[in-house]
Structure 1
Amino acid sequence: MRRVIAILTDFGSGDWYVATMKGVIAGINPDVLLVDVTHDIAPCSTIEAAFALKSCYRFFPPDTVFLTVVDPGVGTGRRPIALEAGGRLFVGPDNGVFGLVLEGESLTGCVELRQESPPESSTFHGRDVFAPAAARLSLGTKLSKLGPSVEEPVSLSLPEPERVSETELQGEVIYVDRFGNLIANIPANLVSPSGGDPNVLVLSFPRKGISISRVCRGYAELAAGEPGILLGSAGYLEVALFGSSAAREFGIEVGESFQLTLKASQKATRA
């Protein structure tokens, strides 16, 4: 089976940065399969990158190399690392982008990437440091050959929802997808312990004066322009606006707080 390198960045698609990294990889391993996870992470948003990575890595084959370059600290003392967890390999800056993966997986090994000569540029380690390392790993090079061991890579966690009462939680929007769906920091087990519909009465954005009570299983259950609450494929509560963007129409961005009222008969188990 061909090895896979999955690339996730905040570089966008309008510049040459992603293509340059792919060119470097192809020069080292021309047989590797390159997959674009996304290049539309908000600039420098390590938490957004970590969430996107957490949401997809399990669906890739074992030994996939995840090349993740969201690197606001490029050119500083932050470490370039490669690590193994969950049967996959991860390459990128040691700034927390792998933190959400490591919350659910045991760290098998981690090294600080070392090179014989300094990077060509202090601003493009994606090209000069991370892409070559990912390519070498895709050829079967052992982690230990890439640099010295690292005991504890930088951690990162999603903001925790706050319990206001037995039936009320306060949370925040942690991700907005391309369709404008608002993904909240409310995992499925908090609002649907039995795996059914979320036991939500009302979700409100106080600052915006918006309250939503329609609960659904899928987007198409909603009428055109109707907002609804559902459990998304990433395993978190979402707010959607059928046929439109909830983020745009409601003027909501990542970090917006909300209040969640649950049915009294099915209280949140933990928060």
Structure 2
Amino acid sequence: MIVTFTDFGITGPYMGQMKARLLQYAPCEPIIDLMVDVPAFQIAYGAKLLAGLVENMPEEAVYLCVVDPGVGGQRKPICLQCDGGWFVGPDNGLFQYVIQSNENVQAFEILWRGETLSKSFHGRDLFAPVAGMLAQNIDFDKAAVPVDDLVTLSATVSGEVIYIDGYGNCWTDIRHNDITISEPLMIGTQTLKYADVFCDTEEGHAFWYFNSSGFVEIAVNQGNAAQILGLVLGSQIKRN
């Protein structure tokens, strides 16, 4: 199984071109789009979302991960063997939290190059072929690198909106093991209490809960939390 995780979105040619290249190298391998709307260019948000989302995915998959505003620059192309699976993408911090959550990690710089390599689309021309070869257990040119030498992100304190879904629900970077259900959250002057599920609150009321991927999510029962509460990416969520 090959799993994609990108900020490409669903419009334009990018996902189609990358998946077509995947199928050239792994024609019988199922391809699952885990997330195609990572907030554009937001490596730190992508890193947190990726680590949370893969908790409910098969370990043995090959994860093709492209949030790569530095494409064509000095960042290395890498692949990581993490326990039973592989992660392929740029060395820009995108895999930081995946690495932290796995006990056995080996890192490699990708040295393989195909016949053509666009300066601006390594997802199609470099990462997709490598992911396909990994899925088929085909060897390619790579060199081991120390995990400690990989790019790391600046330390941040959790408590901001990192993703807004199509319903207007706001995912925060607070994880299920970082907070207790007795803690209210503050958005401006408004206090939000915990509820298990949407139907535990009145229609139109805001609350917070643990979503199915283990993130604290701000929601409104049958309403758009982002619009109603004025939340955008990066909005701060205060804890009492």
Residue 186 (structure 1) shift:
2.8
Please tell me whether the aligned partners of residues 48 and 173 of structure 2 are also in contact (alpha carbons under 8 angstroms). Answer: no
Q: Which residue of 2 is the match for residue 204 of structure 1?
A: 186
Separation in 1, partners of 2:75, 2:41 = 14
1:29 aligns with 2:26: yes
Match of 1:182 among 170, 189, 192: 170
Separation in 2, partners of 1:83, 1:244 = 40
Match of 2:142 among 133, 147, 157: 147
Match of 1:245 among 199, 224, 239: 224
* Change beyond 3 A, Cα 1:87–1:176: same
> What secondary structure, in the 3-state scheme, does the structure 1 residue paired with 2:213 have?
coil
Letter matched to residue 198 of structure 2: Y
* Change beyond 3 A, Cα 1:199–1:27: same
Greater displacement, 111-120 / 101-110 = 111-120
Please tell me whether the aligned partners of residues 82 and 102 of structure 2 are also in contact (alpha carbons under 8 angstroms). Answer: yes
> What secondary structure, in the 3-state scheme, does the structure 2 residue paired with 1:238 have?
strand
> What secondary structure, in the 3-state scheme, does the structure 2 residue paired with 1:186 have?
strand
> What secondary structure, in the 3-state scheme, does the structure 2 residue paired with 1:27 have?
helix
* Change beyond 3 A, Cα 1:157–1:90: farther
Letter matched to residue 244 of structure 1: G
Percentage of identical aligned residues: 31
Moved over 3 A (4+): 116-119
Please tell me whether the aligned partners of residues 99 and 157 of structure 1 are also in contact (alpha carbons under 8 angstroms). Answer: no
Q: Which one has a bigger Cα radius of gyration?
A: 1
Letter matched to residue 235 of structure 1: G
Separation in 2, partners of 1:251, 1:227 = 12
Long gaps (5+) in structure 2: none
> What secondary structure, in the 3-state scheme, does the structure 2 residue paired with 1:47 have?
helix
Separation in 1, partners of 2:179, 2:114 = 52
Long gaps (5+) in structure 1: 162-170, 193-197, 262-271
Please tell me whether the aligned partners of residues 83 and 107 of structure 1 are also in contact (alpha carbons under 8 angstroms). Answer: no
Residue 158 (structure 1) shift:
6.9
Letter matched to residue 148 of structure 1: A
Letter matched to residue 147 of structure 1: K
Residue 141 (structure 1) shift:
2.8
| Alignment root-mean-square deviation, CA | 2.0
Residue 123 (structure 1) shift:
0.3
Q: Which residue of 2 is the match for residue 64 of structure 1?
A: 61
Separation in 2, partners of 1:65, 1:41 = 18
* Change beyond 3 A, Cα 1:61–1:230: closer
Q: Which residue of 2 is the match for residue 166 of structure 1?
A: none
> What secondary structure, in the 3-state scheme, does the structure 2 residue paired with 1:24 have?
helix
Give a deviation string over 1:46-94, Cα, whole Å, max 9, x none. 1222223212223333320000111100010110001111311000011
Greater displacement, 83-92 / 146-155 = 146-155
Q: Which residue of 2 is the match for residue 93 of structure 1?
A: 90
TM-score, normalised on structure 2? Answer: 0.91
Residue 112 (structure 1) shift:
0.9
Residue 96 (structure 1) shift:
1.1
Greater displacement, 222-231 / 70-79 = 222-231
Residue 118 (structure 1) shift:
6.7
Equivalent runs, 1:200-239 vs 2, <5 Å: 200=183, 202-206=184-188, 209=189, 211-239=190-218
Q: How many pairs are equivalent?
A: 238
Q: Which residue of 2 is the match for residue 47 of structure 1?
A: 44
Give a deviation string over 1:193-249, Cα, whole Å, max 9, x none. xxxxx012x32223xx4x124321101212111001222223232221111121122
